[in-house]
Amino acid sequence: MSTSPCNTSLVFLKRSAATVLGVAGLFCIFASSPVVAKQPPSADNRYEVIDPEEGERRMNMFRRQRLDGDYCFRFELEHLPRRGKTIRYYGTMWGSWNEQGPVTRIQVASEPGVLVANDDKQIEMILQNGPSPYAWLRGSLTEDFVELSGDALLSPILPEIVYAPFDMQMPFLYWDDFRYEGPVRVKSRIAQTFLMLPPDDVGWANSVRVGIDDAYNALLRIEVMSADSEPRSQFTVESFKKVQEQWIVKRITLKDNETGDRTRFKVRAASVGLILPEEIFLPEVNVSFPTIPESMFEIL
Of 117, 92, 116, nearest in space to 106 by CA: 92
Per-position DSSP letters for 171-218, written without gaps between them: GGGG-SEEEEEEEEEETTEEEEEEEEE--TT-TT---EEEEEETTT--
pLDDT for 115? 59
Averaged pLDDT score across all residues of the chain: 80
Question: pTM to 2 decimals?
Answer: 0.80
Reported confidence tier of residue 46, pLDDT bands at 50, 70, 90 = low
Q: What is the pLDDT of residues 48-69, one digit of tens each?
A: 899 989 999 999 888 888 888 9
State how far Cα 175 lies from the chain centre: 16
Of 55, 64, 33, nearest in space to 219 by CA: 33
* Domains by residue range for the chain, with CATH: 13-283 (2.50.20.10)
In this predicted structure, the answer to whether residue 96 has a pLDDT above a threshold of 70 is yes
pLDDT for 120? 64
pLDDT for 119? 63
Q: What is the pLDDT of residues 235-272, one digit of tens each?
A: 898 888 889 988 888 899 989 898 899 989 999 999 99
In this predicted structure, the answer to whether residue 282 has a pLDDT above a threshold of 90 is yes
Q: What is the pLDDT of residues 170-186, one digit of tens each?
A: 889 999 999 999 999 98
In this predicted structure, the answer to whether residue 44 has a pLDDT above a threshold of 70 is no
**Contact indicator for 35, 23 with CB cutoff of 8 Å:** yes
Give percent of the chain above pLDDT 90.
36
135 Cβ neighbours under 8 A, 6+ residues apart:
125, 126, 127, 128, 147, 148, 153, 165, 169
Sign of CA dihedral 95, 99, 101, 104: negative
Q: How do 101-109 and 122-128 pair as beta strands?
A: antiparallel
Q: What is the pLDDT of residues 99-125, one digit of tens each?
A: 988 999 998 888 876 555 556 678 889
What integer is the mean pLDDT of 199-203? 82
pLDDT for 117? 57
Q: What is the pLDDT of residues 113-159, one digit of tens each?
A: 655 555 667 888 999 988 888 999 998 777 889 999 888 888 888 77
Reported confidence tier of residue 39, pLDDT bands at 50, 70, 90 = very low
pLDDT for 66? 82
Give dist(CA 49, CA 59) in Å, integer.
15
